[in-house]
Amino acid sequence: MKRIVCITAFAAALAVAAAASARTSPGPMSGPSKAVTSEILDAIALEIERAKSALRIAGALPPYFIGHKLTEVEVSDTVASLGSTTWKKDRHFVTLDARVHVGDYKLDNSNFVIANAERTDGLATLQLPIEATPRIARRVAWLVTDAAYKEALEQIRAKIDTRRAGGTSDPDRPSHTRRAAFVKQEPVEVPALESNDALDRRARAISRVFRGIAHVRDSRVAFTSFLERRWYINSEGTRAHDTRRVSGVIIVATAQADDGQELAVFYSRYGHTAKDLPGDSELLAEARNLAKKLDAIRKAPVVDNYIGPVLFEGGGAVDIVRTTLAPHLGGTPLPEGLSAAEAKQFGGGLSDDTVGLRVLSPLLSVTDDPTSHRSGRRALIGGFQIDDEGVPAQRVEVVRDGFLKTLLIGRTPSKKLRTSNGHARRSAPGGVYRGTATNLFISGKRGLSRKQLVGKLLAEARAQGLPYALIIRRLDDAAMTAAPELSARELLHLYQSTDREAPPIAIEASRVYPDGREELVRGVQLRPVRLREWEDILAVGKKANVFNFLASGQLNIAHKINGVADNGAVPSAGIESAVVTPDLLFRKLQVVRSTAGRRGATAVSRPR
Amino acid sequence: MGIVRILWLLGAALLLAACPKPDEIDRPLPPLDREGEKKQSDLPPAIPAKLEVERVAPDADHKPSARSPIVDIMSSEIKRSMDVLSQQPIPVYYLSYQVYDNRRVVIETDGGALLTFTDDTERFLDTEVRVGSAKLDNRHQLSNEQEDAINAPMPRKSIMPFGTDELSIRHHLWLDTDRRYREAALALRRVLVDKSVTAQEDSPPDFAIARAEEYIESPASLDFDEDMWIKRARDCSKRAFRGVATRATCRLDFELRTVYFVNSEGTVLQMVRPSALMSVSVGVKADDGMPLGRVEQRFARTPAGLPDDAELDRIIARVTSDLNALHRAPVVDPYVGPAILEGRAAGVFFHEVFGHRIEGHRQKQRTSGQTFASKVGEEIMPQWLTVYDDPTLLTANGAPLNGFYRFDDEGVRAQRAILVERGVLKGFIMGRNPIAGFSRSNGHGRKEPGRNAVSRQGNLVVSVSRSVQGDELERALIAEVKRQGKPFGMVFSDISGGFTNTSRFLPQAFKVNPVMAYRVYPDGRRELVRGVDIVGTPLTALGSIMLASREVETFNGMCGAESGWVPVSASAPSLLLKSLEVERGFKGVDRPPVLPPPSIEREPNSAQNHDRRGN
Task: Give me the count of residues in chain B.
Answer: 615
Q: What is the pLDDT of residue B358?
A: 93
Select from A78, A131, A486 the residue whose CB has the most chain B CBs within 10 Å, as the one to mutate to test that interface. A131
**Domain limit, last residue, from A400, A423, A444:** A444
How far apart CA A465 and CA A307 sit, in angstroms, is: 11
Q: What is the pLDDT of residue B375?
A: 85
The A residues from 580 to 599 touching B (CB cutoff 8 Å) are 599
- Whether residue A602 lies inside any domain: the answer is no
Mean pLDDT of the A454-460 span: 98
Please name which of A564, A608, A486, A574 lies closest in space to residue A87, comparing C-alpha atoms: A564
Determine, for residues A603 and B172 on separate chains, whether the beta-carbon distance falls below 8 Å. Answer: no
Q: What is the pLDDT of residue A132?
A: 94
Q: What is the pLDDT of residue A20?
A: 38
What are the chain A neighbours of B111 within 8 Å (beta carbons)? 133, 135-136, 139
Select from A75, A125, A139 the residue whose CB has the most chain B CBs within 10 Å, as the one to mutate to test that interface. A139
Q: What is the pLDDT of residue A171?
A: 80
Q: Does A601 touch chain B (CB under 8 A)?
A: no
Select from A48, A135, A207, A211 the residue whose CB has the most chain B CBs within 10 Å, as the one to mutate to test that interface. A135
Is the per-residue pLDDT at B506 higher than 80? no
Q: What is the pLDDT of residue B238?
A: 95
Burial B286-322 (b: 16+ CB within 10 A, else e): beeebebbbbbbbbbbbbeebeeeeebeebbeebbeb
Is the per-residue pLDDT at B28 higher than 50? no
Determine, for residues A84 and B165 on separate chains, whether the beta-carbon distance falls below 8 Å. Answer: yes
Q: Does A88 touch chain B (CB under 8 A)?
A: yes
Residue in A closest to B180 by C-alpha: A487
Q: Are residues A386 and A517 in the same domain?
A: no
What are the chain B neighbours of A602 within 8 Å (beta carbons)? 178
Min Cα separation B88/chain A (Å) = 8
Q: What is the pLDDT of residue A10?
A: 33
How far apart CA B247 and CA A139 sit, in angstroms, is: 9
Q: CB of B399 within 8 A of CB of B465?
A: no
Q: Are residues A431 and A476 in the same domain?
A: no
Residue in A closest to B595 by C-alpha: A55
Q: What is the pLDDT of residue B612?
A: 28
Domain that holds residue A416: 326-359+364-444
What are the chain A neighbours of B187 within 8 Å (beta carbons)? 487
Q: Are residues A46 and A180 in the same domain?
A: yes
Report the SS3 class of residue B125.
strand
Q: What is the pLDDT of residue B588?
A: 64
Residue in A closest to B113 by C-alpha: A129
How far apart CA B319 and CA A364 sit, in angstroms, is: 67
Q: What is the pLDDT of residue B126?
A: 97
Q: Are residues A309 and A438 in the same domain?
A: no
What are the chain A neighbours of B614 within 8 Å (beta carbons)? none
Higher-pLDDT residue of A476, A486: A476
Q: What is the pLDDT of residue A569?
A: 56
pLDDT band at B44 (very low <50, low <70, confident <90, very high): confident
- Comparing A2-16, A44-58, A189-203, B162-176, the range with the smallest average pLDDT is A2-16
Of all residues in chain B, what percent carry a pLDDT higher than 70? 88
Determine, for residues B77 and A607 on separate chains, whether the beta-carbon distance falls below 8 Å. Answer: yes
- Comparing A85-89, B210-214, B285-289, the range with the smallest average pLDDT is B285-289
Nearest neighbour of A604 by CB, restricted to B163, B178, B186:
B178
- Whether residue A139 lies inside any domain: the answer is yes
Is the per-residue pLDDT at B351 higher than 80? yes
Burial B39-67 (b: 16+ CB within 10 A, else e): eeeeebeeebbebebeebebeeeeeeeee
Q: Across the A/B interface, how many CB contacts are shorter than 8 Å?
A: 154
What are the chain A neighbours of B596 within 8 Å (beta carbons)? none
- Whether residue A568 lies inside any domain: the answer is yes
Residue in B closest to A493 by C-alpha: B150
Classify strands B532-536 and B564-584 as parallel, antiparallel or unpaired: antiparallel
The A residues from 550 to 569 touching B (CB cutoff 8 Å) are 563-564, 566, 568
pLDDT band at A242 (very low <50, low <70, confident <90, very high): very high
Q: How many CA atoms lie within 13 A of A35 on its CB side?
A: 23
Mean pLDDT of the A534-555 span: 92
Asked: is B64-328 a CATH 1.10.600.10 domain? The reply is: no
Is the per-residue pLDDT at B33 higher than 60? no
Report the SS3 class of residue A142.
helix
Q: CB of B237 within 8 A of CB of B114?
A: no
Min Cα separation B115/chain A (Å) = 4
The domain that contains A118 carries what CATH number? Answer: 3.30.2290
Domain tally, chain A: 3
Please state the three-class secondary structure of B276-345 as a single string: EEEEEEEEEECCCCCEEEEEEEEEECCHHHCCCHHHHHHHHHHHHHHHHHHHHCCECCCEEEEEEECHHH
Is the per-residue pLDDT at B342 higher than 90? yes
Distances (CA, A) of B509 to B376, B499, B512, B536: 21, 9, 10, 6
Determine, for residues B160 and A86 on separate chains, whether the beta-carbon distance falls below 8 Å. Answer: yes
- Whether residue A461 lies inside any domain: the answer is yes
- Comparing A166-175, A592-601, B193-202, the range with the smallest average pLDDT is A166-175
Q: What is the pLDDT of residue A436?
A: 92
Nearest neighbour of A129 by CB, restricted to B84, B110, B182:
B110
B70: left (phi over 0), alpha (psi -120 to 50) or beta: alpha
How far apart CA B227 and CA B433 sit, in angstroms, is: 47
Higher-pLDDT residue of A53, B501: A53
Is the per-residue pLDDT at B11 higher than 50? no
pLDDT tens string A120-149: 999 999 999 999 999 999 999 999 999 999
Determine, for residues A85 and B163 on separate chains, whether the beta-carbon distance falls below 8 Å. Answer: yes
| Type of residue at B576 | L
Q: Enter the DSSP assignment of B22.
A: -
| Average pLDDT of the residues of chain A | 91
Q: What are phi and psi of B78, to 5 degrees?
A: -60, -45
pTM score, whole prediction: 0.91
Is the per-residue pLDDT at A5 higher than 90? no
Select from A256, A490, A604, A605 the residue whose CB has the most chain B CBs within 10 Å, as the one to mutate to test that interface. A604
pLDDT tens string B233-257: 999 999 999 999 989 999 999 999 9
Q: Are residues A68 and A156 in the same domain?
A: yes
What are the residues facing A546 on neighbouring strands?
Answer: A580
Min Cα separation B371/chain A (Å) = 31
Q: Are residues A131 and A231 in the same domain?
A: yes
Residue in B closest to A56 by C-alpha: B594
Please, what is the Cα angle at B599 between B593 and B602, to 5 degrees? 100
- Whether residue A482 lies inside any domain: the answer is yes
Report the SS3 class of residue B501.
strand
Q: What is the pLDDT of residue A26?
A: 63
Please state the three-class secondary structure of A59-90 as a single string: CCCCEEEEEEEEEEEEEEEEEEECCEEEEEEE
Nearest neighbour of A566 by CB, restricted to B111, B124, B595:
B124
Min Cα separation A158/chain B (Å) = 18
Distances (CA, A) of A113 to A344, B56, B514: 14, 58, 37
Determine, for residues A604 and B154 on separate chains, whether the beta-carbon distance falls below 8 Å. Answer: no
Is the per-residue pLDDT at A16 higher than 50? no
Determine, for residues A54 and B595 on separate chains, whether the beta-carbon distance falls below 8 Å. Answer: yes
Mean pLDDT of the B210-227 span: 97
Min Cα separation B316/chain A (Å) = 19
The A residues from 198 to 257 touching B (CB cutoff 8 Å) are 211, 217-218
Q: Does A484 touch chain B (CB under 8 A)?
A: yes
Min Cα separation A211/chain B (Å) = 8
pLDDT band at B504 (very low <50, low <70, confident <90, very high): low
Residue in B closest to A77 by C-alpha: B120
Determine, for residues B81 and A604 on separate chains, whether the beta-carbon distance falls below 8 Å. Answer: yes
Q: Does A403 touch chain B (CB under 8 A)?
A: no
Q: What are phi and psi of A21, to 5 degrees?
A: -90, -10
Q: Are residues A474 and A424 in the same domain?
A: no
Distances (CA, A) of B96 to B90, B118, B123, B189: 17, 31, 17, 21
Select from B595, B599, B601, B611 the residue whose CB has the most chain A CBs within 10 Å, as the one to mutate to test that interface. B595
What are the chain A neighbours of B597 within 8 Å (beta carbons)? 139, 142
Neighbour tally for A171: CB within 10 Å: 8
**Domain limit, last residue, from A410, A444, A478:** A444
DSSP letter for each residue of B248-273 = EEEEEEEEEEEEEEEETTS-EEEEEE
Is the per-residue pLDDT at B503 higher than 80? no
Classify strands A181-184 and A4-5 as parallel, antiparallel or unpaired: parallel
pLDDT band at A214 (very low <50, low <70, confident <90, very high): very high
Q: Are residues A421 and A462 in the same domain?
A: no
What are the residues facing A274 on neighbouring strands?
Answer: none
Nearest neighbour of A142 by CB, restricted to B110, B118, B597:
B597
pLDDT band at A568 (very low <50, low <70, confident <90, very high): low
What are the chain B neighbours of A34 within 8 Å (beta carbons)? none
What are the chain B neighbours of A486 within 8 Å (beta carbons)? 154
Q: Are residues A335 and A310 in the same domain?
A: no
Q: Indicate the domain borders of chain B.
A: 64-328, 330-584
What are the chain A neighbours of B112 within 8 Å (beta carbons)? 133, 136
Nearest neighbour of B182 by CB, restricted to A127, A491, A599:
A599
How far apart CA A35 and CA A187 sit, in angstroms, is: 13
pLDDT tens string B279-294: 999 999 888 888 899 9
Is the per-residue pLDDT at B359 higher than 80? yes
Is the per-residue pLDDT at B566 higher than 80? yes
Of all residues in chain A, what percent carry a pLDDT higher than 90? 76
- Whether residue A266 lies inside any domain: the answer is no
pLDDT tens string A587-596: 999 999 998 8
Is the per-residue pLDDT at B20 higher than 50? no
Min Cα separation B405/chain A (Å) = 25
Residue in A closest to B602 by C-alpha: A135
Distance of alpha carbon B397 from its chain centroid, rounded?
20
Q: What is the pLDDT of residue B40?
A: 56
Nearest neighbour of A129 by CB, restricted to B85, B114, B167:
B114
Q: Are residues A491 and A418 in the same domain?
A: no
pLDDT band at B589 (very low <50, low <70, confident <90, very high): low
Min Cα separation B50/chain A (Å) = 45
Q: Are residues A504 and A534 in the same domain?
A: yes
Q: Are residues A237 and A371 in the same domain?
A: no
Q: What is the pLDDT of residue B188?
A: 98
